[in-house]
Chain A
């Protein structure tokens, strides 16, 4: 009997299925957590999404936090702090190899913590974002995309993009009756 050819990957187990947080009917009166990953234009983009959720959908306020290491998932204490203070979460902008994946990982972490989340990624990074969702036990996890590139946009263009993605963000965060 010949020897089997050995597997170099070491993987056997599949990730436990990650729960999805219950959706809200609307965003009236909520605090929107903005998890900014330091990529160019991420802060003004998320700020504008937050502003529009207040102006057009009745959110009460925003709380912005910055994730220093864009390549890694948000640290547990940051997730805990935002979960305590916020009702829904926006993460982004996934605009690079590692940060797109980790923006989605962050979204899933907040779902597990019980908060509806909307990750926003550049559309050039769909495959890597989907792969991360699968790794985190949330295959098919939905997130919002904005056309690539994001980093070169002017402040006015960033605002337009935020406005364009708003409907998708709303449909990710809410489930109207």
Chain B
């Protein structure tokens, strides 16, 4: 005779978690001491180690609290080193250490996993890279959201003031499609050696698709990407940062035409921007410090203003299936730290 868990007990435990205010809106896995101990056993770090601090609210996150939240998010214990690396990577972002979690822009972490750990833990590296359906991708990202909510105490409508937020705020965890990428893994751009399992992370304001499957000319792809990057709605400061998550087809087309990743970045830095007239029409031509404002002065109408200051402001990742030429512009909130964190033991 097989026994199945008592659904009424499970439901009562789930409702208990809701009643405490711990949930992001979806059911949580109730965390018990044995479950959390299994998480803590996957790392050599002490449960008391502080892995993130939010000074303005006087809260911090320890390895122990991260484990409780990761368990509640639905992670398996073996995912925990990836959660810790992802959180470390995020805490290297100035915005994540400052006011980013409270921001009206409601930014989403984008987590990028590289190396053997992708396959060891069963991360999706193929189609639907931004979509649902895969436990490691879904729960590692969710764990970060629960840490922000519970350990940092940043809750919607209270200390979190997102005006509209963005879809999938706690669900973007890509495992790079290294096998079909023509370029070195993203973690190498973040300073990690080849072959190492590592996690990179930044905060995003949104993701915008670029669907271009009918041209054999790689430069037309780049013009299409540049148009999306250059849209005025996203420009609020002098500089901006926008990454591209290329699908394998676009990446391979560019690589075959001789574009290394650095060449793509240099091309986009050169071609992304707007004329003064475009910016003035949208009320964003003036600069007060680094912030854009509506300036009546039209003397710069004819000037083309570039908006991407450096390659670090144009992170490039390859993800998704090779079944269509659809890539994603990822709008970075603030700027990427430029570093990847090794998945520890």
Binding site for B on A (CB under 8 A): 3-11, 15, 38, 40, 69-73, 96-102, 105, 125, 127-128, 131-132, 135
CA A5 to CA B15, docked complex, whole Å: 12
In the complex, B128 has a CB within 8 A of chain A: no
A131-B98 contact in complex given A3-B32, A6-B68, C-beta closer than 8 Å: no
Binding site for A on B (CB under 8 A): 13, 16-17, 20, 22, 30-34, 36, 55-59, 61-62, 64-65, 68-69, 71-72, 98-100, 102-104, 146, 150-151, 153, 157-162, 288-289, 291, 293
Task: Report the minimal beta-carbon distance from B143 to chain A, rounded to whole angstroms.
Answer: 10
Residue of B nearest to A137 (CB): B58
State whether B33 touches A98 (Cβ < 8 A): no
Task: Report the minimal beta-carbon distance from B267 to chain A, rounded to whole angstroms.
Answer: 34
A5-B17 contact in complex given A97-B99, A97-B104, A125-B161, C-beta closer than 8 Å: yes
- Residues of the A chain whose Cβ atoms lie less than 8 Å from the Cβ of B100: 71, 98
Of listed B20, B36, B58, B293, residue having the most chain A CB within 10 A: B58
State whether A72 touches B102 (Cβ < 8 A): no
Task: Report the minimal beta-carbon distance from B321 to chain A, rounded to whole angstroms.
Answer: 35
Main secondary structure, interface of B, reads: mixed
State whether B151 touches A5 (Cβ < 8 A): no
Task: Report the minimal beta-carbon distance from B157 to chain A, rounded to whole angstroms.
Answer: 6
CA A176 to CA B303, docked complex, whole Å: 58
State whether B289 touches A8 (Cβ < 8 A): no
A5-B31 contact in complex given A15-B58, A97-B102, A135-B58, C-beta closer than 8 Å: yes
Task: Report the minimal beta-carbon distance from B327 to chain A, rounded to whole angstroms.
Answer: 31
State whether A40 touches B291 (Cβ < 8 A): yes
Task: Report the minimal beta-carbon distance from B76 to chain A, rounded to whole angstroms.
Answer: 17
Residue of B22, B58, B98 near A8 (CB, 8 A) is B22
Task: Report the minimal beta-carbon distance from B100 to chain A, rounded to whole angstroms.
Answer: 8
State whether A72 touches B159 (Cβ < 8 A): no
State whether A72 touches B291 (Cβ < 8 A): no
State whether A71 touches B56 (Cβ < 8 A): yes
State whether A38 touches B289 (Cβ < 8 A): yes
- Residues of the B chain whose Cβ atoms lie less than 8 Å from the Cβ of A69: 98
State whether B293 touches A128 (Cβ < 8 A): no
Task: Report the minimal beta-carbon distance from A1 to chain B, rounded to whole angstroms.
Answer: 12
Residue of B nearest to A98 (CB): B99
- Residues of the B chain whose Cβ atoms lie less than 8 Å from the Cβ of A97: 99, 102-104, 159-162
A9-B151 contact in complex given A38-B289, A40-B291, A135-B58, C-beta closer than 8 Å: yes
List 13 interface pairs A-B (beta carbons < 8 Å), by A numbering: A6-B68, A6-B71, A8-B69, A9-B22, A10-B150, A69-B98, A96-B103, A98-B56, A98-B98, A98-B102, A101-B159, A127-B158, A132-B57
Residue of A nearest to B162 (CB): A97
CA A99 to CA B34, docked complex, whole Å: 41
Residue of A nearest to B290 (CB): A38
Residue of A3, A7, A71, A125 near B68 (CB, 8 A) is A7
A131-B158 contact in complex given A71-B98, A102-B56, C-beta closer than 8 Å: yes
Residue of B103, B104, B150 near A9 (CB, 8 A) is B150
State whether A6 touches B102 (Cβ < 8 A): no
State whether A105 touches B56 (Cβ < 8 A): yes
State whether A71 touches B291 (Cβ < 8 A): no
- Residues of the A chain whose Cβ atoms lie less than 8 Å from the Cβ of B102: 71, 97-98, 101, 128
CA A40 to CA B294, docked complex, whole Å: 12
CA A129 to CA B16, docked complex, whole Å: 29
- Residues of the A chain whose Cβ atoms lie less than 8 Å from the Cβ of B103: 96-98
Pairs of residues from A and B, 5 with the lowest C-beta to C-beta distance, nearest first: A71-B99, A98-B99, A97-B161, A97-B102, A8-B150
State whether B32 touches A128 (Cβ < 8 A): no
CA A45 to CA B159, docked complex, whole Å: 25
Residue of B nearest to A69 (CB): B98
Of listed A69, A96, A127, residue having the most chain B CB within 10 A: A96
State whether B153 touches A9 (Cβ < 8 A): yes
Residue of A nearest to B66 (CB): A8
CA A40 to CA B61, docked complex, whole Å: 33
Task: Report the minimal beta-carbon distance from B27 to chain A, rounded to whole angstroms.
Answer: 13
Task: Report the minimal beta-carbon distance from A127 to chain B, rounded to whole angstroms.
Answer: 6
CA A96 to CA B99, docked complex, whole Å: 10
State whether B151 touches A72 (Cβ < 8 A): no
State whether A11 touches B56 (Cβ < 8 A): no
Residue of B31, B34, B56, B62 near A72 (CB, 8 A) is B56
- Residues of the B chain whose Cβ atoms lie less than 8 Å from the Cβ of A100: 161
State whether B98 touches A135 (Cβ < 8 A): no
State whether B22 touches A3 (Cβ < 8 A): no
Residue of B150, B159, B289 near A128 (CB, 8 A) is B159
- Residues of the B chain whose Cβ atoms lie less than 8 Å from the Cβ of A127: 157-158
Known: A4-B33, A5-B32. 19 other contacts (CB 8 A): A3-B32, A4-B32, A6-B68, A8-B31, A8-B69, A9-B153, A40-B291, A71-B56, A72-B55, A72-B98, A72-B99, A73-B55, A96-B99, A98-B98, A100-B161, A127-B157, A128-B158, A131-B158, A135-B57
